[in-house]
Amino acid sequence: MVAIAIFMILVAAVYSTWVLILKSTQVVQEAAAQVQRQRIAIRTMEDSLTCIQSFQASMKYYAFAVTNGDQPTLSYVARVPDIFPRNGRFDTDLRRLTFTVEASPDSDSEKDLVLRQNPILMDMDDGEQQTPLVLARNVKDFKVECWDTNALDWADEWDDTNSIPPMVRVTLTLGGNTTDSGSIAPTLAITREIAMPSGTLPSAVQQPRIVPGGGGLRAPNVPPGQPIPNAPPIPIQPNPNQPPNSGYNPTPGSPGLLPPQAPFQNLPGGGKQ
């Protein structure tokens, strides 16, 4: 009887240890899965933010929007890489990306971080609107801060609509899910600071400029008298009324060259020709 009692005590101790190991393993696995989901979500933002594009003359298409609070939102335009999620659904890699936190369809008490995409000059289709890509589940907090170069501090809002911030800080917090054994995995938070490798292209650089004495509009940063890169040939026919020694003898099919203005000639009476 004494031997049986000692054996039962040992079996109970071993069983208790085994149950504790199982619960700890499930909690660790759930925590590792949460960290992996956080890394995937943050990596998706990082890959797109490092490819962000913005043009000051077309800010209605390239606007950078940040909203925090109960309904956080992050939206911008980027030329996404080839490995970006859902690339096969779109014909172009220049798309507007919108990250939002919305109520989960599977649970009334949880929220999901979702991503919607649409080509820059097209509206979002119904499939992308109704079934967005879920990046993370059970989101407790999603916050985006922008570096303010004037205040030298992080700002919750970005009011400068004509430019993109030089750096953003993204914080994502996921709540612990209940495991099969009834235990709850811990709440984990990750913060990543992402520097923007590009800036907003000014309007003066984006629009063509008029070259004085050059005969009209020229491409930006192209000096007068030089061919415009990748410009199609312009068929130019010689003017039969132009004097042969006027200095303007274009060659038919000159690549992108516009004729200079002919010199003025003084006429009797003060007029010019």
| 34-69 pLDDT per residue, tens | 677 778 888 899 999 999 999 888 888 898 999 998
In this prediction, residues 233-252 reach a mean pLDDT of: 51
Whether 96 has a pLDDT exceeding 90, the answer reads yes
Three-state DSSP at 115 gives strand
* CB contact at 8 A, 136 and 155: no
Residue 76 has pLDDT above 50, yes or no: yes
| 177-204 average pLDDT score | 75
Q: What share of the chain is helix, strand, coil (3-state, %, to 5)?
A: 25, 30, 45
Over residues 112-152, the pLDDT tens digits come to: 999 999 998 888 999 899 999 999 888 899 999 999 988 89
Runs of H (alpha helix) within 63-191? 126-130
What dihedral do alpha carbons 245, 250, 256, 259 form, nearest 10°? 30
Of residues 181 and 147, the one with the higher pLDDT is 147
Least confident of 132-141, 163-172, 233-242: 233-242
Q: How far apart (Å, rounded) are the C-alpha atoms in residues 261 and 26?
A: 81
Residue 248: pLDDT band by 50, 70, 90 thresholds?
Answer: very low
